[in-house]
Structure 1
Amino acid sequence: MGEIKQVSRETDASLPHSLWRAEQIRQAEIALAAAAGISLYALMERAGGALEQHILQRWPGARRVLICCGAGNNGGDGYVLARRLREKGLMVTVLATREPARLKGDAGRAASSWLAAGGSVLGVDAPVPAPDLVIDAVLGTGVALPVEGDPARLIARINHWQQEGTPVLAVDLPSGLQADTGLVLGEVVQASETLTFIGLKPGLLTGAGPNWCGRLSLAPLGLAIDHWGAPVAQRIDYPALASHLAPRRRTAHKGDHGRVLLVGGNAGMQGAILLAARAALRAGAGLVRVCQHPSLPAPSLSQPELMQADPSELGLGWDSVRVIGPGLGQDEWARRCFAAALCQNESLVIDADGLNLLAQHPLHRDNWVLTPHPGEAARLLGCRVAEVEADRLAAVTALQQRYGGVVVLKGAGTLIHDGEQLRLCNEGNPGMASGGMGDLLSGIIAALLAQGLPAAQAAALGVALHGEAGDLAATEGERGMLASDLLPWVRRLVNPQISQER
């Protein structure tokens, strides 16, 4: 059956990095099971066994288990689990959206086995004793329409128990969550934990998925999907990418590590450009200059290592990497700076108001990294934010096709697309939903570009390092965390050999 692997700060690096669409997993399940001589019902039994093992490990004191079953194979997994837990002596109650006699295929067989073992099935509204644990086996990966009727009422009951403090384990994914996108289809289960099967689905890690799945675990069920086909995306994290940060040569000098020029910081918005510039310094750029509004105090007064540049110098080619947008604004001064800054052939990182100005006059370039949040992405695509969030994988793909280069779609489960490969980073935390965090990311990516990393690699590593720094800073609390709190961690993380030694 294989070991169950769990997502946590300690075990992220051991999780599979491949992400699969639900249809891919369905096809792989059939093909791999057939190749191994395993029936799909035997695979359902394996799923029930994995759930049983997980429950006994995570909630060994649970005696009353309530299992909520739907009409499909997700419900079939629930019936198998019910029978196995009853055999272990636990008190099991089953609520179902459909009578067992009306079930078909493997789900019907699993329900019949439960009844033959002495179990019974109640309707969705039946009164039940207070459970120690609730199992959500209502809806699986095939749901595409808003949840209504009996499934919706049963989901509401599950969430009531969860709000009362009863843990909820979702089978494969929380019912009502779209597996590929993380879109909520009307009603959705608030899971304490989710045990997903065979392969990781992107909807668990991006969109609304992280809000609903709780602690995420994977049971491969003995099927090696990684050897079956091409995944839709790769999950990335800092431990997997830190090897790109090799120690520097003993004879290195500042010119070896690139020159970053940041354009932004309009009147009243100097903080954004300073945060991006400080991040570039802490992420290892050799030299950093700031082109900001002439009314503002020199950046060296806040950070002595920063140099100032005049807008007239934007065409001189001093820099190897250019960041355009933090605190830039959209007035006439901003428009002139934006136009002048785009005239060069250096690597570019476009963020904030740079993206808003780009949306007004779209361009396609291969030498930039764009870092929109969902609102900026919607402006770039000419759509609503809700449309971006409804399918973030489609949105980042559309952005890359329209604008070129590398696109970083920020948010829970940040996505990176370079035109060839799609990556998803699930590091980071809600404490990072505060002003200035995006400015840090722009500076970090620029510094990595300046040190010679290819754009796709710099973007992926920058996102992972940024999220890891946020998670480390959050050990002192998420609420009240500032963007500047990440800077000491950024410095440590760009020197992984030191972090490992300590």
Structure 2
Amino acid sequence: MITSSQMRVLEINSEAFGVSTLQLMENAGRSVADEIEREMGTSSLSVIVFVGHGGKGGDGLVTARHLADRGANVTVITMGEIKHRDALVNYGALEEMDFSVRVLRIDDLDSPLKADVLVDAMLGTGVRGKVRYPFNHAISLFNASKGFKVAIDVPSGIDPDTGEALGEFVSPDLVVTFHDVKPGLLKYNFKYVVKKIGIPPEASIYMGPGDLLTLKQRDMRSRKGVGGRVLIVGGSSTFSGAPALSALASLRTGADLVYVASPERTAEAISSYSPDLIAVKLSGRNFNESNIKELGPWVEKANAVVFGPGLGLEEETVKATPTFVEMVMRLGKPLVLDADGLKIMKGSKLSKNVVITPHPGEFKIFFGEEQKENERERINQVVEKARTCNCVVLLKGYLDIISDGYSFRLNKAGNPGMTAGGTGDTLTGIIATFMAQGYSPYISAGLGALVNSLSGTLAYRELGAHLTASDVVSRIPKVLNDPITAFKERPYRRVISS
């Protein structure tokens, strides 16, 4: 099964990887014509196609064109202005077919029709809320008309995900749905066929701009905190930059409040980087056991926690880390375990709420083995290790591999400049923000990898291999505001060996 939002992701990703939505529409409409021909033949067949404003209407226009080409007598009934980009292209083509296709408006019709075949191309997977005029009038007319009734993708008037009736809905003899069955169809006893329309497997394997377009938009009446509260625990007497970069990336991704908890003198240095950072001063020169109690209220307050950037490997830190990590997991808080925190917790079984983000060296430390050289073997290795540690693994590299132990996603949107120090710290902040906003650890890890890579790619286009982690942070909003444009900037390269 596939939901309407998942289908939209695949369509956008498909276009990003070279198979246009116009081509998908062509394949969809042709497949409907094929099914009608299989059921009824086409020579001298009378067909009426009810066409809506959007993408489903475009599918219907393609269906009409193909049936007319095969000898059918075709009438198209529009609901008014065609609005979808690809549907407009196909409507233009149909306008030139004024000898073989007749076009009418629904406003001109008020009594039932009769044809060998009636095609419902009115309301698709984008439908929301109660069906209104002219669609409610058209659906009533469609149902009252005589002929073999075919619905494209999902019958008009039905929510594609829930099956809820949004008023009167089309009652078809056949549903031709695309790529996979929609959940709403299963609520009814409709006869349906599933047709593949050319969406490449890569559209669901690789992270793409479609994944980012599913992010929830901020409501105008939103209050402070709706973007999530992130707690970042890191830094030491030696390192202060890493947790600051994670925090700044988190803010740029959309977190409303970011707390950076570090040893006292380190926290003072971090607070000087930006007035946007809330620095929490911990006692001692490095993270230690006394800090665990100090951090309790901050962990409770946070929606997600980052642990490890710049933490150091002092003896007191190594001793305190397992207790703190166990506390966060016990409280059920989403956690990104990175850098030194990951090294200290090597070999541990964690929880479904945890994301670890190792580079190849850290992967060897945590799991006790080198990453596989062959990419396909490496993917299987990451899936296996994610299942072993009971957490989400994001293995960083020129090909990022993300797995929850059962599924996997890949990201190849990076660039050579991302070897700059600190870009892993920006990644942890981005992932934590998505988790704080309610996305699952697995989805957050994939989204984080893509946003971090695309932000780095925008910097790389301008600065080449001279970019810094701060350059990545500054471009996060551009990616989130226009992921399709950002994705077009990526340097394409083949990364999977056979």
> Shorter-chain TM-score category?
0.5 to 0.7
Residue 258 of structure 2 corresponds to residue 271 of structure 1? no
3-state SS of paired residue (2:381): helix
Matches within 5 A, 1:214-253: 234-253=204-223
State how far apart, in whole Å, the 1-side matches of 2:378 and 2:406 are. 17
Once residues 322 and 446 of structure 2 are traced to their aligned partners in structure 1, the CA distance between those partners, rounded to angstroms, is 25
Question: In the aligned structure 2, how far is the partner of 1:411 from the partner of 1:15?
Answer: 24
In structure 2, which of residues 344, 362, 372 is the aligned counterpart of residue 376 of structure 1?
A: 362
Identity of aligned residues (%): 35
Give the Cα separation in 2 of the matches to 1:394 and 1:304: 44
Offset, 1:377: 0.9
Aligned 8 A contact 1:325 1:355 in 2 = yes
Partner of 2:286: none
Unaligned runs of 5+ in 2: 1-12, 21-195, 283-290, 487-498
Q: Which amino acid aligns with 1:425?
A: N
Correspondence 1:487-502 to 2 at 5 A: 487-496=473-482
- Matched residues in 2 for 1:271 and 1:382: separation? 28
Query: Residue 424 of structure 1 aligns with which residue?
Result: 410
Q: What pairs up with 1:83-122 in 2 under 5 angstroms? A: none
Q: Is the Cα–Cα contact under 8 Å of residues 432 and 478 in structure 1 kept in the other structure?
A: no
Aligned counterparts, 1:439-458, within 5 A? 439-458=425-444
Aligned length: 283
Taking structure 1 as reference, are residues 330 and 448 closer, same or farther at Cα in structure 2, changes over 3 Å only?
same
After superposition, the Cα gap between the structure-2 partners of 1:264 and 1:367, relative to the gap in structure 1 and judged at 3 Å, is same
320, 327, 337: which one aligns with 2:310:
327
Q: Distance in 1 between matches of 2:424 and 2:432?
A: 12
Tell me which structure has the larger Cα radius of gyration.
Answer: 2
Tell me the CA shift for residue 490 of structure 1.
0.4
Give CA-to-partner distance per residue, 1:297-337, whole Å, 9 cap, x none.
Answer: 42221111211233333222121100011111121342224
Q: CA contact under 8 A between 1:233 and 1:423: conserved in structure 2?
A: no
TM-score (norm 1): 0.52
How far does the alpha carbon of each residue in 1:237-257 deviate from its partner, in whole angstroms, 9 at most, with x for none?
341212122321001122212
Partner AA of 1:302 in structure 2: Y
Normalising by the residue count of structure 2, what TM-score does the alignment of the two structures yield?
A: 0.52
In the TM superposition, residue 375 of structure 1 has moved relative to its aligned partner by: 0.9
What displacement does 1:388 show?
8.7
Q: Distance in 2 between matches of 1:407 and 1:273?
A: 20
Which whole-Å deviations, capped at 9, do the CAs of 1:414-442 have from their partners, x for residues lacking one?
01112231111110100111100100000
Partner SS state of residue 262, structure 1 = strand
Q: Does 1:14 align with 2:1?
A: no
Cα distance 1:282–1:244, how it changes in 2: closer, same or farther (>3 A)? same
Q: Which residue of structure 2 lines up, in the alignment, with residue 221 of structure 1?
A: none
**C-alpha RMSD of the superposition:** 3.0
The answer to whether the Cα contact below 8 Å between 1:406 and 1:416 also exists between their aligned partners in 2 is yes
SS in 2 for 1:486: helix
**Cα gap change, 1:390/1:324 in structure 2, threshold over 3 Å: closer, same or farther?**
same
Task: Work out whether residues 235 and 426 of structure 1, in 8 Å CA contact, stay in contact via their aligned partners in 2.
Answer: no
Displacement of 1:464 in angstroms is: 0.8
Structure-2 residue corresponding to 1:314: 295
| CA pair 342-301 structure 1, distance change in 2 beyond 3 A | farther
Secondary structure at the residue paired with 1:252?
coil
**CA distance in structure 1 between the partners assigned to 2:341 and 2:203 by the alignment:** 28
Distance 1:232 1:297, change over 3 A: closer
- 1:351 Cα deviation after fit: 0.8
Query: CA offset at residue 405 of structure 1?
Result: 2.2
The equivalences for 1:168-247 within 5 A come to: 234-247=204-217
Distance 1:442 1:350 in 2: 8
1:199-226, CA deviations, whole angstroms, 9 ceiling, x for partnerless residues? xxxxxxxxxxxxxxxxxxxxxxxxx797
1:255 aligns with 2:255: no
The Cα of 1:387 is off from its aligned counterpart by: 6.2
Q: Secondary structure at the residue paired with 1:415?
A: strand
Deviations 1:315-371 (A, max 9, x none): 221211000111111213422245324312200001111110111x51231111111
Residue type of the alignment partner of 2:344: L
Q: Distance between the aligned counterparts of 2:422 and 2:262, measured in 1?
A: 17
> Residue type matched to 1:488 in 2?
S
Q: State the distance in 2 between where 1:441 and 1:254 align.
A: 24
Q: Which amino acid is 2:362 matched to?
A: E
Of 442, 450, 457, the residue aligned with 1:464 is: 450
| Partner amino acid, structure 2, of 1:326 | P
Would the aligned equivalents of 1:233 and 1:421 in 2 still touch at CA under 8 Å?
A: no
Separation (CA, whole Å) in 1 of partners of 2:210 and 2:385: 26
Separation in 2 of the partners of 1:257 and 1:384?
A: 38
1:340 to 2:319 alignment:
no
Residues in 2 aligned to 1:302 and 1:271: alpha-carbon distance in whole angstroms = 9
Determine if the alignment matches structure 1 residue 291 to structure 2 residue 291.
no
CA change 1:304–1:341 in 2 (3 A) is farther
Distance 1:489 1:227, change over 3 A: closer
Contact 1:247 1:495 in 2 (8 A): no
Give the aligned partner of residue 341 of structure 2.
Answer: 354
One-letter amino acid matched to 2:205? R
- Given that residues 14 and 203 in structure 2 are in contact (C-alpha distance below 8 angstroms), is that contact kept between their aligned partners in structure 1? no
| Aligned residues of 1:263 and 1:290 also touching (Cα < 8 A) | yes
1:410 is displaced (CA, Å) by 0.6
**Counterpart pick for 2:273 among 273, 282, 302:** 302
Structure 1: how far apart are the matches of 2:356 and 2:367?
13
User: Does the alignment pair 1:414 with 2:400?
Assistant: yes
1:262–1:273 Cα contact (<8 Å) kept: yes
Q: Shift in Å at residue 294 of structure 1?
A: 2.3
Corresponding position: 1:367 with 2:353:
yes
Q: Encode CA deviations 1:15-58: one digit per residue, 9 max, x unaligned.
A: 479xxxxxxxxxxxxxxxxxxxxxxxxxxxxxxxxxxxxxxxxx
* 1:397–1:414 CA distance, 2 compared to 1 (3 A): same
Q: Is the 8 A contact 2:258 2:277 kept in 1?
A: yes
Match of 1:483 in 2: 469
Change (3 A) 1:486 1:16: same
AA paired with 1:339?
T
**Residues 459 and 421 from structure 1, CA distance in 2 versus in 1: closer, same or farther, beyond 3 angstroms?**
same
Q: 1:260, 1:321 within 8 Å by CA — same for their partners in 2?
A: yes
Unaligned runs of 5+ in 1: 1-9, 18-223
- Higher normalized contact order (CA 8 Å, seq sep 6+, divided by chain length): 1
Do 2:17 and 2:203's aligned partners in 1 also have CA atoms closer than 8 Å?
no
Matched position secondary structure for 1:295: helix
Residues 390 and 305 (structure 1 numbering): CA distance in 2 closer, same or farther, change over 3 Å?
Answer: same
- Tell me, in whole angstroms, the C-alpha distance in 1 between the residues paired with 2:442 and 2:476: 19
Q: CA–CA distance in 2 between the matches of 1:329 and 1:452?
A: 30
